[in-house]
């Protein structure tokens, strides 16, 4: 009998996390929904029998371990993690960013991602059969910054280092790690892109956007790569966004 695959998704209460969770649920996966707001996670679950609601602050190491332990107790194993939770700040120059706000972005986007990857890695290493897949949500900002985004950009550059290290350290245990770099999906967090955002030339212009279910489909394809292969880095973006080019 074929075993039903399992995945944990952080930031599952809205946006990319919610869309991705619903995509996996529609394909018959068992999906663990991690996020700070139980009510939002319940909305994502939408009475799906295969959805497991796991309220958790990803910056709290003990809470993360408890959430992953609950998933293992419930399912017996974890096949995949979509490390998606993140936050941003309003655009500003470095001298006008509060150091505590900078730390808060790093705490969620990098430390929280490490804590979830750490928890997944430990359980994937210990389970039988050994192994699994970790997919980190990077960003177009992992390659090039927007004006006024020093905290977010620094965190996403660091995520790329995290992805590469996890990929290398996971090899002996059958743990693959890939990264999806997303540009301008229609979510509450990215809605301002369509209204107009600062460009490198100093202008403020609206940008092209893509459907969030395009991102969800890409994550699903990354998770379904056959064992022994990996999508190491994938970029999915609105075709006409101002990323490839100058200015």
Q: Please state whether the predicted TM-score (pTM) of the whole model is above 0.85.
A: yes
Which pLDDT belongs to residue 189?
A: 66
Strand segments (E) across 102-164:
132-137
pLDDT of residue 89: 93
Reply yes or no on whether the pLDDT at 224 is more than 90. yes
Work out the widest C-alpha separation in the chain, in whole angstroms: 59
Residues designated as active site: 152
pLDDT above 90 (res 187): no
Q: Which of 160, 144, 163, 157 is nearest to 241 (CA)?
A: 144
Exposure of 90 by Cβ count < 10 A (0-12 exposed, 13-18 middle, 19+ buried)? Answer: exposed
| Average of per-residue pLDDT across 158-182 | 98
Please check the confidence at residue 192 and state whether its pLDDT lies above 60: yes
**Predicted pLDDT of residue 1:** 38
245 band by pLDDT with thresholds 50, 70 and 90? confident
pLDDT of residue 131: 98
pLDDT at residue 211, as a whole number: 93
Residue 158 has pLDDT above 80, yes or no: yes
pLDDT at residue 70 greater than cutoff 70 = yes
Lowest mean pLDDT across 37-46, 179-188, 197-206: 197-206
pLDDT of residue 95: 97
Can you tell me the mean pLDDT for 180-189? 85
Contact 40, 64 (CB under 8 A): no
In the predicted model, what is the mean pLDDT of residues 187-191? 70
Q: What is the pLDDT of residues 87-96, one digit of tens each?
A: 999 999 999 9
So what's the pLDDT on residue 191? Answer: 67
Mean pLDDT on 185-206:
76
Nearest-angstrom CA–CA distance, 164 and 233: 10
Identify the pLDDT of residue 194. 66
């Amino acid at each position: 009998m074929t075993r039903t695959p399992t995945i944990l998704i952080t930031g599952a209460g809205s946006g990319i996390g919610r869309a991705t969770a619903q995509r996996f649920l529609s394909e018959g996966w068992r999906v663990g929904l991690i996020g700070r707001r139980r009510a939002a996670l319940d909305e994502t679950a939408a009475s799906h029998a295969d959805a497991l609601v796991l309220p958790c602050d990803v910056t709290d190491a003990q809470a993360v371990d408890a959430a992953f332990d609950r998933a293992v107790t419930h399912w017996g194993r974890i096949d995949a993690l979509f490390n998606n939770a993140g936050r941003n700040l309003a655009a500003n120059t470095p001298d006008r960013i509060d150091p505590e706000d900078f730390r808060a972005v790093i705490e969620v986007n990098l430390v929280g991602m490490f804590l979830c990857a750490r928890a997944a890695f430990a359980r994937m290493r210990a389970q039988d059969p050994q192994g699994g897949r970790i997919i980190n949500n990077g960003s177009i900002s992992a390659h090039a910054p927007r004006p006024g985004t020093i905290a977010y950009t620094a965190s996403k550059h660091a995520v790329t280092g995290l992805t590469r290290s996890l990929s290398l350290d996971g090899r002996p245990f059958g743990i693959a790690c890939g990264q999806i770099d997303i540009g301008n999906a229609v979510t509450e967090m990215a809605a301002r892109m369509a209204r107009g955002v600062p460009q490198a030339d100093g202008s403020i212009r609206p940008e092209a956007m893509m459907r969030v279910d395009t991102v969800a489909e890409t994550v699903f394809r990354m998770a379904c790569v056959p064992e022994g292969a990996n999508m190491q880095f994938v970029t999915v973006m609105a075709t006409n966004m101002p990323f490839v080019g100058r200015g």
